[in-house]
Structures are given as C-alpha cells and as structure tokens.
Amino acid sequence: MSSTSQFSFGPAKPVGALGVIAFLLGIAHAWMASMHWTHHQITSASFGYAAIAVLIPLSIAYAISGRRSVRNWNRTGLWFLLLSLVVLIPLMHALGMLGVQPR
C-alpha cells in the first residue's frame, strides 16, 4: 500500500484570456436579455432576471466541465457563452411571442 492519498489534486489551471472574454460576453448577454425583459428600465427586477440568466447557463456549464481535478476554466467559460446564447435567445423571444411578459 502506498502512503500517498489517491485523492491528491494537482494545481488548478488558471483562467486564460479566452475564458475571461467568454465569461464577460456571457454576462453581458444575460444583462441585455434582462434589459429586454424590463423594457430597458433599470429596476431591481432587471438585476434578478440577469442573475437568473447567468446562473442557469453557468450551472449547466459547470456540470459539463467535469470533476474538479480536470476542470478547465477556459472550457467552462466557452460552454457558458454557448449555453447563454443557445438558451437565452430562444427562451426570450419564444416567451415574448407567446405574450408572456414580466409584470
């Protein structure tokens, strides 16, 4: 038996420029979607919509990117941006076409 732990983790991989840009674009897209829903008025509801629009794609991207020992934050950022575009645009426009608007 070895005295070393089988659960030792390597050093975390830093977030590169591509990952940072992907995260920022995804957050900006979520903010623009929330502004569309609140008819371009900054209210407390617009911050709530933006938070939800960030958390849904981010939680899915975090789950897709794998275990902590192999997680690559650049890949997580790109998944977040992709899911932000894929999920928010159809959801926002489809609900708008159905007449569902926030109060």
Residues 49-97 pLDDT 10s: 889 889 989 998 888 887 766 678 888 888 899 998 888 877 777 766 7
Per-residue pLDDT band at 24 (split at 50, 70, 90)? very high
pLDDT for the residue numbered 28: 93
Question: How would you write 28-72 as a 3-class SS string?
Answer: HHHHHHHHHHCCCCCCHHHHHHHHHHHHHHHHHHHHHCCCCCCCC
Domain residue ranges of the chain, discontinuous segments joined by +? 17-97
Q: What is the pTM of this model?
A: 0.71
Rounded CA Rg of the chain: 18
Give every CB contact of residue 10 below 8 A, 6+ residues apart in sequence.
69
- Confidence check: pLDDT of 99 > 80: no
How many angstroms separate the most distant Cα atoms in the chain?
65
pLDDT for the residue numbered 7: 53
Per-residue pLDDT band at 25 (split at 50, 70, 90)? very high
